[in-house]
Amino acid sequence: MCGIFGVYNYYGDVGEFRQRALDLSKKLRHRGPDWSGCIVADNNIVCHERLAIVGVDTGAQPLTNADESIVLTVNGEIYNHKKLEAELKQPTSFKTHSDCEVILHMYSEIGTDVCAKLDGMFSWALLDRRSAKSRLVAARDPIGITTLYIGRVSAHPETVFIASELKSLNEECDQIDEFPPGHYFDSEDGQFHRYFKPDWWTPERIATAPVDYRQLRESLTAAVRKRLMAEVPYGVLLSGGLDSSLISSIAVREAARISASAQSDTEDIDTRGARYFPRMHSFSIGLPGAPDLIAARKVAKFLRTAHHELTYTVQEGLDAVADVIYHLETYDVTTIRASTPMYLMSRKIKSTGVKMVLSGEGADEVFGGYLYFHYAPNADDFHKETVNRQVSDGVGYSWIDSLKEWAERRVSDEAMAAVHERFPYDTPSTKEAYLYRELFEQHFPQQACLKSVVRWVPRTDWGCSADPSGRAQKIHDKAY
């Protein structure tokens, strides 16, 4: 993932602030180590930290149109960029091979309607300088795959900060909000506007169509296939479970087909780079002896992937928790539990040169696979939950138990008894949550940072346990 940073309508001397903006953008360089770019225009600054995936040779950002009246910084991939390029009405000369450049040319023709036309994962900020007063338009993909925050300064309400991560905003802004998925922000009215409006989004509308397994299979295959347009080595996260194994098998098959098609250039999708990386990499992680590692090994052997297996100790996981909290910018218990092993594996993946991976994450949210879904009172509430609710944990119980024991040692009974005094806002209810909150505030002590955190809260109104772990749900015992 790339990192984007921008300041619109800066209230001071923008020339003097440029170096400060570069320093704030630099905090995102772990996301984009391949190139850094910065454009200062009037009293606006647009920065970019690049991770090159598509258009490796020419896709440096920020991107501009011919006369540089439109400036764009993007984190993401636009899967239908070729189709959109063909829809442009005006003759257009592209400066790069980036799949993201089409956004600024499409915006030039149809304005903010471009948001609803994009098929991809993205967050971007666009500066339109064609009028006397510059205009900022920023957008985030429909379900928030990419991160994005918006910040403001109370004393200067017309100034707007945009960044991929909280750490680029917390020292400058006293108001920080997570940018809502499926929306765009327009400085002309200072409001968010929802552009993502599928018919199933309305909570009152419950899905009633009969199950169509062929459609499900074809949709899933297409979703995997369009994500394989990278010009760099890519791979899959493989736990050996149903979801990751399905994605891996489809990815291996489709990568082979794309590679073959690329030789004749007959495909209407982006196949650049496919011919260079014919063998899929797969990655798995677990504590020593974890059943997931054994299952992943079997799947990898069957699929003939270049398999990489990583084991970690409980202590190595505990040592990484503080870094995980810093990078994820959260104190949410569920997120930290699940993300720590992923963080360790991501470091391993980076060392191999692989820049893009697919995973089976998201299936349990869409299909209600987590144990707590068994407590849904009725079909309507079940459907609403699949639409509206961040995730439960999907990690081993021994890891969760180790985290709880660690927190028990680190947080005293006396400290927990005074938790309401220590944390009056969003008060932690367990020692584990207390510890994560304490580590979070070491990096992000500002009140504005607390209000930007999105937490997964168990459905206690359904009779679920307050602990987000799947094992804490009574239905778990019944399964055995």
256, pLDDT greater than 80: yes
DSSP state of 180: P
477, pLDDT greater than 70: no
Separation CA 353–CA 124 (nearest Å)? 26
Q: Are strands 234-237 and 120-128 parallel, antiparallel or unpaired?
A: unpaired
11, pLDDT greater than 50: yes
Cα atoms in the 13 Å half-sphere on the side-chain side of 413: 0
Give the pLDDT band (50/70/90) at residue 276. very low
For position 19, what pLDDT does the model report? 93
Give the tens place of pLDDT for each residue, 418-462.
999 999 999 999 999 999 999 999 999 999 999 889 887 778 888
For position 55, what pLDDT does the model report? 62
104, pLDDT greater than 90: yes
For position 215, what pLDDT does the model report? 95
Q: What integer best gives the mean pLDDT of the chain?
A: 89
Give the pLDDT band (50/70/90) at residue 395. low
107, pLDDT greater than 80: yes
Q: Which of 299, 318, 297 is nearest to 309 (CA)?
A: 297
For position 274, what pLDDT does the model report? 46
User: Which residue has better confidence, 398 or 126?
Assistant: 126
Report angle CA 188, 145, 65 to the nearest 5 degrees.
45
277, pLDDT greater than 60: no
- What is the distance between the terminal CA atoms of the chain, rounded to a whole angstrom? 40
348, pLDDT greater than 70: yes
Average the pLDDT over 54-58 and give the result: 66
Order of strands, edge to edge, in the sheet holding 63-64? 63-64, 70-78, 120-128, 135-140, 183-186, 191-194
Neighbours of 168 (CB within 10 A): 27
Q: Which of 382, 369, 322, 23 is nearest to 167 (CA)?
A: 23
Average the pLDDT over 2-30 and give the result: 91
For position 388, what pLDDT does the model report? 77
Range in 229-238, 276-285, 294-303, 372-381 the model is least confident about: 276-285
92: which residues sit within 8 A by CB, 6+ positions away?
Answer: 85, 105
Give the pLDDT band (50/70/90) at residue 269. very low
Give the pLDDT band (50/70/90) at residue 261. confident
Catalytic residues: 2
CB distance 352 to 308 below 8 Å: yes
Average the pLDDT over 253-278 and give the result: 64
For position 53, what pLDDT does the model report? 67
Give the tens place of pLDDT for each residue, 190-243.
999 999 998 877 766 777 788 899 999 999 999 999 999 887 888 999 999 999
479, pLDDT greater than 60: no
Give the pLDDT band (50/70/90) at residue 342. very high
Give the tens place of pLDDT for each residue, 353-362.
888 999 998 8
For position 470, what pLDDT does the model report? 58
Give the tens place of pLDDT for each residue, 291-311.
999 999 999 999 999 999 999
Tell me the DSSP string of 349-403: HHHHT--EEE--TTHHHHHT-SGGGGG-SSHHHHHHHHHH------S-HHHHHHH
CB distance 63 to 46 below 8 Å: no
Both tokens assigned to 403: 């985290």
Give the tens place of pLDDT for each residue, 112-140.
999 999 999 999 999 999 998 999 999 99
**Backbone φ and ψ of 234, nearest 5°:** -130, 170
Give the pLDDT band (50/70/90) at residue 27. very high
For position 265, what pLDDT does the model report? 57
Give the tens place of pLDDT for each residue, 169-188.
999 999 999 999 999 999 99
CB distance 314 to 340 below 8 Å: no
